Amino acid sequence: MGNFANRKSHAVFIPYPAQGHINPLFKLAKLIHLRGSHVTYVNTEYNHKRLLKSRGPTALDGFTDFSFETIPDGLTPLEGDGDVSQLPSLCQSIRKNFLKPFCELINRLNHSANVPPVTCLISDCCMSFTMQAAEEFSLPILLYFSSSACSLLNVMHFRSFVERGITPFKDERHLTNGYLETKVEWIPGSNLWKEDTECLEWLESNEPGSVVYVNFGSIIVMTPDQLLEFAWGLADCKKPFLWITRPDLVIGGSVVLSSEFMKEISDRGLISNWCPQEKVLNHPSIGGFLTHCGWNSTTESICAGVPMLCWPFFADQPTNCRFICNEWKIGMEIDTNVKREGLEKLINELMVGENGKKMRQKAMELKKKAEENTRPGGCSYMNLDKVIKEVLLKQN
């Protein structure tokens, strides 16, 4: 992939303002930048502040042909806190409040002496107002779907599900709560939480394939009772584990784990607020991933060759879980009403059981396929190359 003859192209990226949407679109932005385009990446003001807090006040300054801009999210500080209960307010605000400031931003960029005029928009599918902006400025637009192809197929059939009286998610938790790799490492990461890199040092002290990695993503919340069952299931399995517990993981309060639990796991467990997940999953000591089945986590686990224990929550996660467990056979599902005894049994099966060995082998086979598809000449590589030529190169 050679660079463009010049840098006339200018792609404006705008993700849905949630961690699971920001990360993949940010990776795509890096790849487009690597191909020679000027990139403007647009976060909400709230998330931009979170990013600066996690990465440092000057972390986003001074990059050549890669700039960051913001638009307001139209929410109060409380509404912008980011857990799943705030998603309806955010979705409503996106429809009502985002178009005008986004158009104002494009107009400002087009009249700036420091960047080339905008030549295309690359937008998260959930930010549908960008299609109006593209029409207003006569710009081509690429809509990015941040979940899997099977999830997209499901979404396309939702209307027919409703018309037939079918409830897409009958699981109570869903009703109530509502690989691209890049060489441009000098552009910062996109985590809105400060990463704890000390966990990587801790992983070095463990045997290969021995550690259970636990992370429920950036939005999922659970009850105190569910937290308790997960905690003691992890403790009782007697396996080393790294557990990421965001401060807002528990509904209506903070994560509180008893001194009895902390004493029990002191020699084999590490609890952290956030971590560089891809580095963790690719660490030799990781043997399994207990996950909510978000698509980012799913693809990152596959690309690391790590089998999964699945506790899906909402959105595309049940669909991903079905494919992980039933189609690809690289994981097992945890009961919705999680109990420590059942979790202990599943962890042991994943880590040292015969089914776990088979799933690990299948995960490694999928990892190999992912590597083949994303390297130069692979189908994913060529598909991205085609998109770049059709959307960006034609604008020069």
Per-residue DSSP letters for 277-295?
HHHHHTSTTEEEEEE---H
What tokens appear for 280 in the block?
A: 């963790």
The conformational region for residue 149 under phi > 0 = left, psi -120 to 50 = alpha, else beta, is: alpha
* Of 33, 73, 124, 283, catalytic: 124
Residue type, 7: R
Give the separation between CA 275 and CA 54, rounded to whole angstroms.
11
Does 174 qualify as catalytic in the annotation?
A: no
How many whole angstroms from its chain centre is CA 333? Answer: 20
What tokens appear for 369 in the block?
A: 């396929």
* Of 21, 174, 283, 292, catalytic: 21
What tokens appear for 332 in the block?
A: 């097992």
Give the separation between CA 3 and CA 7, rounded to whole angstroms.
9
Q: How many CB atoms lie within 10 A of CB 113?
A: 4
Residue 171: strand, helix, or coil? coil
Q: How many CB atoms lie within 10 A of CB 379?
A: 11
Give the separation between CA 283 and CA 370, rounded to whole angstroms.
18
Does 21 qualify as catalytic in the annotation?
A: yes
**Which residues are catalytic, by number?**
21, 124
